[in-house]
């Protein structure tokens, strides 16, 4: 047995609370003898309640009970804990060649730094295909922030903003045109949050008939109405308990439901249809819309109080026509995705096709681009997509533009790219050149050639 003097909590607190660790000490039986206040705060437990508890019952994915058996140290191990990653060290305590316990630490400077580190770990794993959300059947997500493709300033800034807001529990409103990838953003927020091991539930508020939306969101009791299932049905809020509820197209929510939605968000409880009792729910709300909610508020079509409840943080998703420099990256991504699915070898698009893509207005945004490439891959008889492989509506719509020579098309595209870079860099020529990956002398020549700055 380890002596009681060794577990003088006051002495251990002096040592460990001044360090940037969460610390736990177990005896040879794997029972907790000490836990630092920082670790208790992280786990949301009281220290007096955990002393004497078997460590594996309290700390998920721990290996402390194994370290006291093997006597082998485990350093810098990646441990999934409370929906997030931590860096864990586990060291056996040996006295007179006998294992008498083990000390474990998780590394974080403070809770904010830990969350930021965890987001970076998740993003790194996703980028290297080591994190697969679809392998987690309870999560309900298929995308990570790595699926938000693009190197434009707008996308880089959006990704950084997503990572900053994901760690909190604040409501988020994602705004952007249809087809810009709002659900990818919502799933990325969930995946980077401490709720990532809980469900992500998506509801399209515009796709549910008005008479059914209340029962879909809040569930119903048996016999609540004609046709109700035996035993009743739980609603989307209950399904998302502990996780994230994504309310897509919230601008299409009927006004009658807006009142009830506001109450749920304020009180944190739902009342199933036909029930006399409310049920507590803990959900994070991420809403999305492509509609002008401010104008709808003026026209009394959307409740102002609900708007402010869901609009704590707003994320704006740029339309594809405003970030055409990302089109080559998106094209390559979708080609790889489509060809791997159907087994057809189509590796790239012709230059004139890419130039047409960068001039097209893209009313359907990224969704339209993916659909066009999907059709073109099926129509293509070669390893690259040509103009003749594109859908008819696209070539008809741009037929007048096709009278230009390839040189004119390239120059027009180049001019637009430089204009956009200058605008994004507040017309700092050197920064714009760096962003475009060209030399300072080159951008000065192009500016003069295209007469971009007076």
CATH number at residue 337: 1.10.8.60
Q: Looking at the structure, tell me whether residues 89 and 205 fall in a common domain.
A: no
Q: Are the CB atoms for 172 and 152 separated by under 8 Å? A: no
91 and 222 in a single domain? The answer is: no
Q: What is the pLDDT of residue 157?
A: 92
- Residue 139: pLDDT over 50: yes
> Which of 76, 108, 140 is a domain's end point?
108
Q: For residues 364 and 428, state if they share a domain.
A: no
**285 and 138 share one domain:** yes
Q: In this predicted structure, what is the pLDDT of residue 136?
A: 47
Going by C-alpha positions, the residue among 196, 190, 171, 189 that lies closest to residue 266 is 171
Question: What is the domain range of residue 228?
Answer: 114-316
Give the pair of three-digit tokens for residue 78. Answer: 């990646």
**For residue 27, what is the domain's CATH number?**
3.30.450.20
Q: How far is it, in rounded angstroms, from Cα 57 to Cα 77?
A: 19
- CATH number at 296 reads 3.40.50.300
**Residue 248: predicted pLDDT:** 94
Residues 411 and 397 in one domain: no
pLDDT grade for 61, boundaries at 50, 70 and 90:
confident
* DSSP, residue by residue, 123-184: HHHHHTT---GGG-TTT-----GGGS---SHHHHHHHHHHHHHHTS---EEEE--TTS-HHH
Helix (H, G, I), strand (E, B) or coil at 78: strand
DSSP string covering 316-381: EPPPGGG-GGGHHHHHHHHHHHHHHHHT----EE-HHHHHHHHHS--TTHHHHHHHHHHHHHHH--
Question: What is the mean predicted confidence (pLDDT) over 106-130?
Answer: 60
pLDDT value at position 220?
Answer: 86
Please tell me whether residues 366 and 414 are part of one structural domain.
Answer: no
Q: Distance between CA atoms of 365 and 318, rounded to whole angstroms?
A: 9
- Three-state DSSP class for 197? coil
Strand pairing category for 313-316 and 279-280: unpaired
pLDDT value of residue 6? 47
Asked if pLDDT for residue 315 goes beyond 70, the answer is yes
Distances (CA, A) of 377 to 12, 333, 336, 356: 65, 13, 11, 17
CATH number for 431: 1.10.10
Which is it for strands 84-95 and 74-81: parallel, antiparallel or unpaired? antiparallel
| Domain-terminating residue out of 62, 84, 108 | 108
Rounded to an integer, the average pLDDT of 268-273 is 89
Residues 9-31 pLDDT 10s: 666 666 665 556 789 999 999 99
Q: 400 versus 125: which is more confidently predicted?
A: 125
65 and 77 share one domain: yes
CB-CB contact of 440 with 421 (8 Å):
no
Give the burial string for 126-144 (b: 16+ CB within 10 Å, else e). Answer: beeeebebeeeeebbbebb
- Residue 34 and residue 20 in one domain: yes
Residues in contact with 30: Cβ distance below 8 Å, sequence separation at least 6, in sequence order: 54, 55, 56, 64, 65, 68
CA 315, CA 182: separation in Å to the nearest integer? Answer: 9
d(CA 180, CA 174) in angstroms, rounded, equals 11
Same-domain status, 268 and 368: no
Counted domains in the chain: 4
- Residue 229 vs residue 219, higher pLDDT: 219
pTM of the model: 0.63
Q: What is the pLDDT of residues 402-452, one digit of tens each?
A: 455 667 767 777 888 888 888 878 788 888 888 887 888 888 888 888 888
- Residue 10 contacts by C-beta under 8 Å, 6 or more apart in sequence? none
Same domain, 267 and 122: yes
On whether both 338 and 302 belong to a single domain, the answer is no
Euclidean distance between CA atoms 440 and 429, whole angstroms: 7
Is the same domain home to 209 and 180? yes
């Amino acid at each position: 047995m380890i002596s009681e003097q060794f577990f003088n909590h006051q002495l251990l607190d002096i040592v460990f609370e001044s360090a940037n660790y969460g610390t736990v000490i177990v005896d040879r039986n794997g029972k907790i003898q000490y836990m630092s206040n920082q670790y208790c705060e992280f786990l949301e437990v009281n220290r007096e309640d955990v002393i004497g508890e078997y460590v594996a019952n309290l700390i998920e994915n721990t290996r402390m009970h194994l370290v006291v058996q093997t006597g082998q140290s485990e350093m810098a191990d990646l441990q999934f804990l409370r929906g997030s990653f931590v860096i864990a060290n586990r060291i056996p305590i040996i006295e007179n060649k006998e294992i008498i316990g083990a000390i474990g630490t998780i590394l974080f400077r403070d809770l904010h730094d830990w969350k930021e580190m965890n987001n970076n770990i998740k993003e790194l794993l996703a980028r290297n295909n080591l994190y697969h959300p679809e392998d987690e059947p309870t999560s309900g997500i298929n995308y990570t922030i790595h699926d938000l493709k693009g190197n434009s300033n707008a996308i880089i800034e959006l990704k950084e903003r997503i990572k900053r807001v994901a760690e909190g529990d604040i409501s988020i409103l994602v705004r952007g045109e249809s087809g810009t990838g709002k659900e990818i953003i919502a799933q990325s927020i969930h995946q980077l949050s401490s709720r990532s091991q809980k469900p992500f539930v998506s509801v399209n508020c515009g796709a549910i008939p008005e008479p059914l939306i209340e029962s879909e969101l809040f569930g119903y009791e048996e016999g609540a109405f004609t046709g109700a299932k035996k035993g009743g049905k739980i609603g989307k809020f209950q399904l998302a308990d502990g996780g994230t509820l994504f309310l897509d197209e919230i601008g299409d929510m009927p006004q009658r439901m807006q009142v009830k939605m506001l109450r749920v968000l304020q009180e944190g409880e739902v009342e199933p249809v036909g029930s006399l009792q409310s049920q507590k729910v803990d959900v994070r709300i991420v809403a999305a819309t492509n509609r002008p909610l401010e104008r709808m508020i003026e026209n009394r079509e959307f409740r102002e109080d609900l708007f402010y409840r869901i609009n704590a943080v707003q994320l704006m998703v740029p339309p594809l026509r405003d970030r055409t420099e990302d089109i080559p990256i998106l094209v390559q991504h979708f080609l790889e995705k489509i060809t791997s699915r159907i087994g057809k070898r189509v590796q790239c698009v012709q230059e004139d096709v890419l130039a047409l893509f960068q001039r097209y207005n893209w009313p359907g945004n990224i969704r339209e681009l993916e659909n066009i490439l999907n059709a073109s891959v099926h129509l293509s008889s070669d390893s690259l997509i040509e103009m003749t492989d594109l859908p008819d509506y696209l070539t008809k719509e741009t037929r007048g533009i096709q009278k230009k020579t390839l040189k004119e098309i390239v120059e027009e595209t180049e001019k637009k790219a430089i204009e956009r870079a200058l605008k994004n860099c507040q017309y700092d020529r050197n920064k714009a050149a760096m962003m475009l990956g060209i030399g300072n002398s080159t951008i000065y020549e192009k500016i003069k050639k295209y007469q971009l700055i007076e």
